Structure 1
Amino acid sequence: MTGLGAVFRPQLPPERLRAVVQLADATGLEELWLWEDCFREGGISAAAAALAWSGQVRVGVGLLPVPLRNVAITAMEVATLHRLFPGRAILGVGHGVQDWMGQVGARVESPVTLLREHLDALRALLRGERVTTDGRYVKLDDVALDWPPTGPVEILAGATGPRTLRLAGAAADGTILTASTAPDGVRRARQLIDEGRESAGRTEPHKVVVYLLTATATGPDAAARLRAELAEEGLESVPDLGVAGDADTVAKAVQRLAEAGADTVILQPTGDEPDPEAFVRFAAEVRALVP
């Protein structure tokens, strides 16, 4: 079955989150995703609040920028969420937006190297291992978590370019693809992820999560809002990207991504979505139409 969820975009103030997450829980939506975009809202703090305000919905953070975070802190926070809310937190890590990383003095010469070192150390710590490593960026001396997760934890990696997609296949448990990924892009990403998995001898399932930029027919000028956001991102010429329309139209777009290799599709409202609560209700309607 194709998983389905929605994004609470950080263009909204944090105090709007509670109503949205409680509505997602009440409507039976499977996943609600949050972003740690500079300089808006903290991913872990928002996820902890969302999990505490709900009882069933899974809460994803896509993603935590690794240049901002010591890997031991990431491991401590991820482990705490999983022990407090077993099976309901989904965590992704990634390079972060390089301009933002530069603004805070955290930009590194080799983002791919940093991400690989961070993933290797993070996954080891979450397995309860004691880790000593002296990498180019990640350095740990006899570090272990006192309270590791009580069961396996999947860590996803955000990826766009070929090197990072192969790295995600080799070193992560799943991959997050941005809303700039059309169905053909999902197919290409799957191929690169599988190349990475094969190189690392990985045989377990690898989850692919794809954001789908969505302008709902419940809001005004859906098609115009979709076109405007694609143009703002410089993506207006990319075919088959994003969707505007009713629940049936959006469900068909979700299915196209699923057929291309997406395991989970997360509906991403436009930045000017006028009614985030209505968007969650809409996502629940789409859920009923997606196999």
Structure 2
Amino acid sequence: MSDPTFDRLGIWNWERPDIRDEIRYAQYAEEKGFDTVWQGESRLVRDAMTVMGAYTQVTDRIKFAPGVTNCYTRNVALMAQTFSTLHELSGGRAMLGIGAWWDPLASKVGIDRQNPLRYMWEYCTVLRRLLDLENVTYDGQFIRVEDIELDLVRANADPRTVPIYIGATGLTMNKMSGELVAEGVVDGVYMNYLIPPEHNEKAMAKLKKGVEKRGGSIEDVDRPQLVAVSMDEDRDVAIENARGLVTQYIGQQPHITKASGIDPDVGEQIGEELGGWPADAEDIERASRLVPDDVVTNVVAAGTPEDCVQKVADYCDSGCTEPSLYSLGPNVEEVIDTFAEFKAE
């Protein structure tokens, strides 16, 4: 088997005990030639926008994005305003990863996620027009704005070339994202983690169908992907270190459960053991006993450095154009160093 080669590489920052470490990892990834840093924001943890503002001041080249924020809690005009500002601060390095969030978290904060596909279509359509510095009036089913535009009288008034990536896990969302790429609204999808490479192949088929429906090509669709990495010279240790995260997401996020390939009955049992969202450490430990090794290694790059590199390459072979590496342990710099050796010149 020949050594894999990665044309592009990114990292994913999330929930480090010391927020300053996330800043340091972004800087280190840039030093090692990585292309992007994605900032997690799927739960009520750190606000990605604040951290990305810090990235603009301590890095020079690396691009950055939330991976992913949601399309509900920030009004579309505010989102355009935020990314216009990040675009300016960074010299054009800001990107936007945006998803339709998930229940039960959305409902717990008062969000009614009826027809998230239509909501995402309207939101991204208006957002792109605002970033293009258009004056926008839009009367949609969910998004309604009248005579608005970014007020850049005293700022650089060039269009904000901010790439937009839809965080698509479900197959229907992938198809719609392909259509929006062909329409020139978004640039691609940010493929999810804790799914097997085989799910990528299904997503690719839907992306192709969607983009071709509106006259585009699958080559038009950029496809970075979040990939969880649990790396240790002892393969068993690496797998054990990943088991808790796999348990938590399979048991609590239905879209992950469906895409993970796990037996639905097992997924239901795990959810019952967790006892709902959020789960505490004891709940996760108890439920993790239901998650076998092969389920972990099916959805996580878990094992020795060689195992991890090959698993990430499998995701690329099945559709990913740029892996965003999420180190599940404290060895973030080791993971960056390992993959930097396989970065194409």
Which residue of structure 2 lines up, in the alignment, with residue 178 of structure 1?
Answer: 192
Answer yes or no: is the 8 Å Cα contact 1:82–1:149 preserved in 2: no
Which of 210, 227, 231 aligns to 1:196? It is 210
Query: How far is the alpha carbon of 1:11 from its aligned partner?
Result: 5.3
The answer for the alignment partner of 1:153 in structure 2 is 162
Counterpart in the other structure of 1:289: 342
Task: Say if 1:27 and 1:281, in contact at 8 Å, map to a contact too.
Answer: no
Structure 1 portions without partners, runs of 5+: none
Q: Which moved more, 1:154-163 or 1:245-254?
A: 245-254
Distance 1:12 1:149 in 2: 39
Conserved? CA contact 1:2–1:258, under 8 Å: no
1:163 aligns with 2:172: yes
1:210 corresponds, among 222, 225, 228, to 225
| Larger displacement relative to structure 2 (155-164 or 197-206) | 197-206
Q: How many angstroms does 1:131 deviate by?
A: 0.9
Which residues of structure 2 form unaligned runs of 5+?
A: 1-5, 181-185, 251-259, 261-290
Distance between the aligned counterparts of 1:211 and 1:185, measured in 2?
13
Q: State the distance in 2 between where 1:218 and 1:66 align.
A: 40
Distance 1:12 1:164, change over 3 A: farther
CA distance in 2, matches of 1:78, 1:248: 38
Q: Is the 8 A contact 2:86 2:94 kept in 1?
A: yes
**CA offsets, 1:86-122, max 9 Å, x none?**
3422211110122221121122322111111101111
Partner of 2:282: none
- 1:124 maps onto 2:139 in alignment: no
Contact 1:169 1:196 in 2 (8 A): yes
- Matched to 2:149, the amino acid is A
Please list the CA deviations of residues 10-49 of structure 1 after superposition, one character each: whole Å capped at 9, or x if unmatched: 3545343222222223333322211123311112111111
Query: Alignment partner of 1:33: what SS?
Result: strand
Give 1:289's aligned amino acid: F
Show the 5 A alignment for 1:63-82. Answer: 63-82=68-87
CA offsets per residue over residues 112-168 of structure 1, 9 Å max, x none?
111111011111111222110111211110111234654533100001112211111
Letter in structure 2 aligned against 1:282: V
Alpha-carbon distance in structure 2 between the residues aligned to 1:228 and 1:36: 19
Residue equivalent to 2:48: 43
> Once the two structures are aligned, what percentage of the paired residues are identical?
22
Q: Structure 2: how far apart are the matches of 1:249 and 1:202? A: 36
Q: Distance in 1 between matches of 2:165 and 2:98?
A: 6
Counterpart residue number, 1:265: 323
Normalising by the residue count of structure 1, what TM-score does the alignment of the two structures yield? 0.89
Report the structure number with the largest CA radius of gyration: 2
Corresponding position: 1:241 with 2:299: yes
**Partners of 1:239 and 1:250 in 2: CA distance:** 10
Distance between the aligned counterparts of 1:238 and 1:25, measured in 2? 30
Paired residue secondary structure (2:137): strand
Change (3 A) 1:206 1:86: farther
The structure whose residues are more often strand, as a share, is 1
- Paired AA for residue 197 in structure 1: V
TM-score normalised by length of structure 2: 0.76
The letter of the residue matching 2:199 is G
Q: How many residues align structurally?
A: 286
Work out which of the residue numbers 241, 245, 248 in structure 2 matches 1:232: 248
Q: Report the CA distance shift for 1:281/1:50 in structure 2 as closer, same or farther (over 3 A).
A: farther
Residue 48 (structure 2) pairs with residue 32 (structure 1): no
Is the 8 Å Cα contact of residues 63 and 93 (structure 2) preserved in structure 1? yes
Residue 107 of structure 2 corresponds to residue 102 of structure 1: yes
Question: Do the aligned residues in 2 keep the contact of 1:215 with 1:243 (CA within 8 Å)?
Answer: yes
